[in-house]
Amino acid sequence: MGESERGESAPRRRVSYWCANGHESRPSFALDAEEPEHWDCPRCGFPAGRNEQSPPAPPRNEPYKTHLAYVKERRSDADGEAILQEALAKLRKQREGDF
């Protein structure tokens, strides 16, 4: 379908957005459309805002944590040692029952 078959397009305006890397994006919006506060930069993917001097901060990437790292956040070394001793005692008791 060509443009002539679709009719007139809505009047548009371009709005500038800047990301933390200094990239400018200029998406176009219909005149009566509300402009979003943030826009994703098509070059780097960082959030971009309307204020060139104060763009939104890039998102923080948290490093991947292993299951052990999460456990260590919740338990102290003393807790871990107590749980280990309890589990070993349980295994030893089971083993004695097998003989």
31-67: per-residue pLDDT in tens?
Answer: 999 999 999 999 999 999 999 999 999 988 888 899 9
Least confident of 11-15, 22-26, 57-61, 82-86: 57-61
Strands 47-49, 17-19: pairing is antiparallel
pTM equals: 0.57
pLDDT of 1 > 70? The answer is no
- Establish whether 44 is an annotated binding residue: yes
Task: Please name the residue that has the structure tokens 């679709």.
Answer: 6
Cα separation, 54 vs 20, whole angstroms = 8
Strands in 24-25's sheet, in edge-to-edge order, are 24-25, 17-19, 47-49, 38-40
d(Cα 99, Cα 95) in Å, to the nearest integer? 7
Task: Tell me the C-alpha distance between 76 and 48, whole Å.
Answer: 42
19 known member of a binding site? yes
Is 23 labelled a binding residue?
yes
